[in-house]
Each structure stands twice: as structure tokens, then as C-alpha cells.
Amino acid sequence: MLVKQNFAIPFARFYVLVKLIYKKMINLSKN
């Protein structure tokens, strides 16, 4: 369980970061 938690937390942060970058790229391509 500890190994899963230690892996899941940074993975969740990375996923949020990717979503933010993805939104920025979509906004840039629209303009």
C-alpha cells in the first residue's frame, strides 16, 4: 500500500501538470 501511495501522489501531480499544459497548447492553437 505504501508503495502505491508513494507512486500515486507524484503521478497525480504530473497528470494535473500535463492537463494544464494541454489546455495552454489548445488555447495557443486557437489564437
> What are 9-31's pLDDT values in tens digits?
889 999 999 999 999 999 999 87
Over residues 5-11, the mean pLDDT reads 85
Domain interval for residue 10 = 1-30
Greatest distance between any 2 Cα atoms in the chain: 45
Number of structural domains, the chain? 1
pTM for this model (two decimals): 0.58
> Rounded to 5, what percent of the chain is helix, strand, coil?
95, 0, 5
Report the pLDDT value the prediction gives residue 1, as an integer from 0 to 100. Answer: 59
Report the pLDDT value the prediction gives residue 30, as an integer from 0 to 100. Answer: 84
Per the model's pLDDT, the better-predicted residue between 13 and 8 turns out to be: 13
